[in-house]
Amino acid sequence: MKIGTDIIQISRIDTLLNKYGETFKTRFLLPEEIKALKKTESIAGYWAAKEAISKALECGIGANLSFHDIIISKNKRGAPVFKLTEDAQKRHKIKSASLSISHDGGFAIAVVALTQ
């Protein structure tokens, strides 16, 4: 089992949204994710989640895994889940995974546990 975590100050995301707007969102979110996210806290949580996933995969965001290779959504109970694009899944071979996202006190945090 591998674990990844990331924490980000929500005000950092707010600053980037104010400066770059939709361009910032499209840099790391897919259209369906943008449509689902209304609050800055949630956007920050998705940022932290994608970073945490890249850390659990031990590759970071870069040549082996892009922000757009990670697709985050909610299950029927409203809990966050993720999958990788078909090409990224072939490279990283995730067998099972769990994702948790939370925000409080001006920070968003995500934790990922996965097996390959």
pTM of the model: 0.95
Q: In terms of residue numbers, what domain contains 95? A: 2-115
Tens digit of pLDDT at every position of the chain (116 positions): 999 999 999 999 999 999 999 999 999 999 999 999 999 999 999 999 999 999 999 999 999 999 999 999 999 999 999 999 999 999 999 999 999 999 999 999 999 999 99
How far apart, in whole angstroms, are the C-alpha atoms of residue 79 and residue 57? Answer: 21
What's the CATH code of the domain at 36?
Answer: 3.90.470.20
92 is a catalytic site residue: no
Length of the chain: 116
Q: Judge contact between 58 and 81, C-beta under 8 A.
A: no
Give the CB-side neighbour count of residue 71, counting CA atoms within 13 A. 10
> 25, 50, 92, 103: which one is catalytic?
103
- 55 belongs to the catalytic site: yes
CB distance 54 to 67 below 8 Å: no
- The whole-angstrom distance between residue 40's C-alpha and the CA centroid of its chain comes to 14
Q: What angle do CA 73, 74, 77 make, to 5 degrees?
A: 170
Q: How many domains does the chain have?
A: 1
